[in-house]
Chain A
Amino acid sequence: MATIPNSLVLKISGAKIVLPINYHSGNSVKTKLLPNPKTPIASTRKTSPIYRPANTTRPLQQIKSSHMAAQIVDSADNRISRISSSIRVIPDFPKPGIMFQDITTLLLDPNAFKDTIDLFVERYKDKNINVVAGIEARGFIFGPPIALAIGAKFVPMRKPKKLPGEVISEEYSLEYGTDTMEMHVGAVQAGERALVVDDLIATGGTLSAAIRLLERVGVVVVECACVIELPELKGRNRLGDKPLFVLVS
């Protein structure tokens, strides 16, 4: 890694920016070129068997004296780098051969968790989203904070028999067999604009079932949003014409 004592060189969206550093005294921030946020997780990151302690007292903006430098620290690239490094990979879960992407370690870092939500909120707050649909159970962790921040309602999409009252169901394929997803009748109205949220997209089966449920009642699915994508499983292709937005791929 290059050490850059007097200036900060960053690549942001292809532009190269050189800035003097004015750091708040007492903080030492490592300067380095930021990693490509699209780097595949499994091939470049070490498995972290222990949890990093959450640094709850560290302010999100460490640089107070330089406004432009503060913007750089809070850039999307910087936040994605922290988010990506907070995700833990567990080999052979739930069965041999699968490298499980564990977001619970992200939730243990309040700054990384906040950054995750902020990145989604920044993208969707001006898109007139009325509904955030979250897929049980990890979609329940990311969906509600987004919904609250953008003023949308939150609709849980659940496994069978969990939702009380009248539901509509959609079946979807698993590797072996099928599963069913349910949504409450009356939760959404025709013409509403929806965002579908889950922690991760793998084959895209669950997300495409959620899209079908919403479209069956006349909702416009604007986009699907996940923290993580496993691109080799080509889930993106199962979403029809619906765009997918992810933070880490």
Chain B
Amino acid sequence: MSSCKEDDPRIDGIQSRIRVVPNFPKPGIMFQDITTVLLDPKAFKDTIDLFVERYKSKNITVVAGIEARGFIFGPPIALAIGAKFVPLRKPKKLPGKVIREEYDLEYGSDCLEMHVGAVESEERALVVDDLIATGGTLCAAMNLLERAGAEVVECACVIEIPDLKGRDRLNGKPLFVLVESR
């Protein structure tokens, strides 16, 4: 069920708008910058449309977006499909009661938090971020949603870096991406 959208003519326009910035945030990393996609209203709209077309008939009740670039793509999708939007945030950003999930980084660990009560049992969730690399953040996001009783239907990203095998860290959950960066 995992897939990548290759044949739609809108993909070329989106892919050509992604800017690669070398050695960011540190030497050796080729950073996939989506801000240039956002500067082209047609490319940005096409990006959202491609996700909305896929999910509008799948009875998704929750779109969870990962801070901060998931906040750019998640809400427009949520609005278009009539789902609620739930922000998943770094520690201490969400006010009130939260649940948290720790995940590993290359060196050390980090945490993702979600509001208690934002998601109810048996809701159908989509997890959105701009890019999947190692899959650590997406995996933490899925765990948060499942702990709250939701069913994660799919993860959706604009870009995948297949060499980092993030797809394998999703506990068998399907991943849908628009562009692969090799």
Contacts and interface: CB of A to CB of B under 8 A. Distances in A.
Contact of A153 (B39, B72, B117): B39
Contact of B72 (A88, A107, A140, A152): A140
Contacts of B79: 110, 113-114, 117, 145
A83 to B, nearest CB: 14
A211 to B, nearest CB: 20
Contacts of B96: 49, 88, 90, 93, 102
A167 to B, nearest CB: 11
Contact of B68 (A108, A110, A136, A151): A136
Contacts of A53: 120
Nearest to A145: B76
Given A148-B48, A154-B72, A187-B39, A94 B85 contact: no
A84 B11 CA distance: 39
Given A136-B68, A165-B21, A113 B44 contact: no
Contacts of A184: 35
A144 interface: yes
B49 to A, nearest CB: 10
Contacts of A93: 95-96
B92 interface: yes
Residues of B in contact with A, size category: 35 or more
Interface string B74-106: 011011001111110100111110000000000
Contact of A187 (B35, B41, B44, B87): B35
Interface residues of A, number: 44
Contacts of B164: none
A37 B92 CA distance: 31
28 contacts: A49-B96, A56-B83, A93-B96, A94-B95, A107-B85, A107-B86, A108-B86, A110-B82, A117-B79, A137-B68, A137-B71, A138-B71, A140-B71, A141-B87, A142-B75, A144-B44, A144-B76, A145-B79, A148-B45, A151-B41, A153-B38, A153-B39, A153-B40, A153-B44, A156-B38, A156-B68, A164-B25, A187-B39
